[in-house]
Every structure is written in structure tokens, then in C-alpha cells.
Homo-oligomer: A and B are copies of this chain.
């Protein structure tokens, strides 16, 4: 039994075992679960990975490969292996896992691997490859327990036991008619509890949630999470049962979607792999920085417009920095709360309106409090109460703008069907920079010169 997590000791233990002979390495590997070996793989060379895969039983080897993170590139490991070994492993993999891995390869590599498989396996995987990766069809596993509506209790149990030889884990039993039309689900518990002569049709639960193959993965994840499902059936437009998506796939989807939002709001392209190299990172981030540069020129144009004011009162430069920094951060706060809230739940018009009103109020109060602090500083340090008053007004005004734009822009984007996380801090801080400088320098030129 295990109740521990992996740490550096495990990595160095494995590395030491790698430097030893095969027997020693096998003994060390036996101490770990396949998903742990998959994590340890991230710290060793590709040659060592290949050696370990060749040492492991085929069931464990395929589980290790299916548990490797996408970013550790299991498909490259697969290509490295001897074709016979590779075929064994792919045939052992669940179809959905095999498809996920194979889909990362070039077309000619995909053909090579599929060509070595049995016609049955190859066509199942080819079929799955045809679905968009980010839909229920792309996520689903076609290996499900399916029994006919007309079976008796006894025949159903025999059939389930027979099918479960090939399907390691199942949580619900799918019921179909003679034409594979999905009719509902039944739990193993209900079948066991039923009287001896009962038929499946008497116990089937038809009031179940299911999805079409084309349903977006985010929607699938929401349904599984909302209805607390272990798995959700996937059907085609004619209600033929195609497969199931299980809760563990959905946990991965949720983490991926969260990563995307997290990156997007910070001005990083959603496709950047977290552990990618610098070339990918430059490609992902430089376009956003260039957009930011464009918006920064806009802010700097405002400053140039008031060059005369700045020449008369150079200390305004120092306060510009404060107003812009505070506006940017207040906008980022409002943006984060709003984007996260939208991504967890749709808002009604009334809720959206109240959100913007709330952010207006928060901006007003936070702006007035921090504005007062800066007023006090200008009063005592620069001995210029009128300057302090201008800064107080600019700070309050800018934090109100921060609250309104930080909340309303993602809400508007959502309404018009654009991903609200696109309203990244880059876009939002443009507003606070431009308006902050306009307020500070505009008021200063009117009231102080």
C-alpha cells in the first residue's frame, strides 16, 4: 500500500538502478506504480526510457506510456522502440490512449504504426483519429460494456463478466437495443439485486445524461462535474452508442482548460507548452509583446502630448509611474475575478450588470483610499497640496476605470462569443495607462500651470 508522493530520493534511486544491471533495475522498477514510473521518466534520457520499457511487462509498459504527460512526448518513445515491441504496446493500450499518442505523429509515421496492427485495431484507431481532439469523440474510449435490452439477469451478468475481461475498469453498464441504439444505463448493483427472472429492460435507467461525439470537451467536463458522473456515454446523431468519456479524462481536460485561461490572461498563447523550449516560448509570447508595444506607444503619445506640462513640473513623471502601476494592478484584480467567474458559470444580464457596478464601487473606494495616501505624501514631501489633490483625483478616476474595464471587457467578449480570457492584462492595462496619464497630466495642466 502507498500513501506517499514521489520525491528526489526516488529519482536518484532510479538513476542509481539504471547504472546497474537489468536485474537490479527490474527490482527497483517493481517498487513503483506505472504512473510513478511515467513521472520518473521526465528525469532520465530517452535511451534509458527505451531500456526500461523493454524490461517491463507489456501491461505495465503500455500503462507507463499512457500515463506519460503529453509534454514528455510518449509518441517519440514509441517511435524509438523495435516495431514488434511497439505493436505489442499499442495493441495493449486502450484505443483512446493509443489515439491520443499516435495523433501527435507525422502522417507517414502514423501509417507505419497502424500498418503493423490487426485490421480491427487499426480501423478503430483510424476512426478515433477522425474526431477533433477537443471533442467528446476525441476523448472517448470505444471499449464500453454494452448489453442488450432483452437479456435476462443471468445472461446479462455472464455477458458483463465476458466483456469485462477486456475492459479493466467500468462503473456503469450501457444498454442498447438490437441496432446498437443507446437506451440508457443500469448499475451492476441493480442487476445483482434484481429477481432471477427480471429482464434488463425492467431495470434500465433511461433518464441519463449523454453527449454527442461532436460536443466540445469543455462542455463534457462541465456535465461530468455537474452531475457527478464516473463516465458519460457518447452517441452519434442517430443515437448509436459510440463509447464513453470517463471522469479521469475530464480531470485532465479541466486542468488543461485552467492552464489555458491562466496563460491567456497573462498574455501567453494558450498553445505554449509549460515545459517547452525557448523557441516555442518566444513564438508564443513575442506577438503579445508586440501588441503591447503598440498599446504602450499609445500611452506614451499621451505623455508626449503633455510634454510642456512635464517640462514645467518634472515631479509629475514620478507620480505618473505610481498612477500607471496602481491602475494596472487594480485592473488585473478586477479582470482575474471576472474572468474566473465567467469560466466557472455563465452570468445572467442582471448578474453581469451587478458585477460591473460592484467593480465600479470597489474602484472608487480603493482609489480614494490609496489616492489619499499619495495626497498626504505630496502634501508633506513635495509641500504641494494642489498637486496632491490632482493626484488624488487621477488615482480615484483611474481605479474606477480599472474596475469598469477589468469587469466589462471580459463580459462583453463573452456575450459576442470571444474567449473572455483574451482580455489579458496587456489589453486592460492599456486603458489604465492611457486614461491614467490623461487624467493626471490633463488635470495638472488645467489646475497647476
Residues of chain A at the chain B interface (Cβ within 8 Å):
1-3, 5, 7-8, 11, 33, 35, 39, 42-43, 69, 157, 160-161, 164, 169-171, 184, 188-189, 192-193, 206-212, 215, 219, 222-228, 230, 247-248, 250-252, 254-255, 258-259, 261-263, 265-268, 272, 274-275, 277-278, 281-282, 285-286, 288-290, 292-293, 295-297, 299-301, 303-304, 307, 310-311, 314-315, 317-322, 324-326, 328-330, 332-333, 335-337, 339-341, 344-346, 348-351, 358-359, 361-362, 365-366, 369-370, 373-374, 377, 425-426, 429, 433, 437
Contact = CB atoms under 8 A, between A and B. Distances in A.
Contacts of A188: 188-189, 192
Contacts of A219: 5
Contacts of A184: 1
Given A1-B210, A266-B335, A336-B262, A318 B304 contact: yes
B281 A337 contact: yes
Contacts of A319: 300
B318 A426 contact: no
Contacts of A359: 281
Contact of A222 (B5, B160, B336): B5
30 contacts: A1-B206, A1-B208, A1-B210, A3-B215, A5-B219, A42-B351, A171-B230, A188-B189, A225-B248, A230-B247, A265-B336, A266-B337, A267-B329, A274-B340, A274-B341, A281-B358, A282-B365, A286-B366, A286-B369, A288-B329, A289-B366, A293-B322, A297-B377, A299-B322, A303-B317, A303-B318, A307-B315, A321-B433, A324-B325, A328-B429
Contact of A255 (B254, B282, B304, B433): B254
Contact of A193 (B161, B210, B226, B373): B161
Nearest to A225: B251
A206 B268 CA distance: 45
B310 A314 contact: yes
Contacts of A43: 348, 350-351
B189 A282 contact: no
A181 B275 CA distance: 43
A255 B344 contact: yes
A344 B266 contact: no
